Amino acid sequence: MPPTPENKDILTAIGISVSLATFIYTQWRNRKINEINFAFKLMDKFDSKILTHHRLTAADVFLRKGFDNLQNEEWEKIDPILDFFQEIAVFTKNGHLTPKLIWNLFFYWIGTYYYVSTKHIEETNNEYPGCWDDLIWLHKKLKRIDKKINNGKYSSHDTESIQVFFHAESTRPTI
């Protein structure tokens, strides 16, 4: 039976719909692949020589002095780690990374560093408005995810867990 004008219109509509669905799926898939690749690059950066140096320094400072009475020059050694988390927060807040992915990959570190640096973050943000606004936003978002998925395991901190965390940071291998 030869196609009628109505059949041609229906076939055209089906073809356009299938093409559009394929295009949307391909875009979604590519975005997810790009997100994962970007996350792996951030993981590599977090484990890079420079950030590993800052993490080892932070662990040494926190283990020796605690986190309540650090001086500005000691915080300056730790700020690059917080800046890195701010960078992750900017990309997450702007939709390039999903909060769930960041929770899975980084919240163990973000949660603890944020906890021990809360006062410093607030003071710095007061002195330089907006400095770590996105990090503050991300931390709140990740704490909600942690509470929902993990009963807040990485959101709860005590002296022992902080000591264990920074001892692990201090013994991490260097690149």
- According to the model, what pLDDT value does residue 3 have? 65
- The 3-state secondary structure of the chain reads CCCCHHHHHHHHHHHHHHHHHHHHHHHHHHHHHHHHHHHHHHHHHHCCHHHHHHHHHHHHHHHHHCCCCCCHHHHHHHHHHHHHHHHHHHHHHCCCCCHHHHHHHHHHHHHHHHHHHHHHHHHHHHHCCCCCHHHHHHHHHHHHHHHHHHCCCCCCCCHHHHHHHHHHHHCCCCC
Cβ–Cβ < 8 Å for 157, 114: no
Of 70-79, 126-135, 142-151, the one with minimum mean pLDDT is 70-79
Distance (Å, whole) CA 16 – CA 132: 46
- According to the model, what pLDDT value does residue 2 have? 67
For 73-116, the pLDDT digits (tens) are 889 989 999 999 999 999 999 999 999 999 999 999 999 999 99
Cβ–Cβ < 8 Å for 132, 125: yes
- The structure's pTM equals 0.85
Give the pair of three-digit tokens for residue 61: 């400072």
For 37-54, the pLDDT digits (tens) are 999 999 999 999 999 999
Residue ranges per domain, the chain?
1-34, 47-170
Looking at every residue in the chain, the average pLDDT score rounds to: 90
- The total number of residues shown for the chain amounts to 175
Distance (Å, whole) CA 19 – CA 22: 5
CA distances from 113 to 10, 67, 169 (A): 59, 10, 11
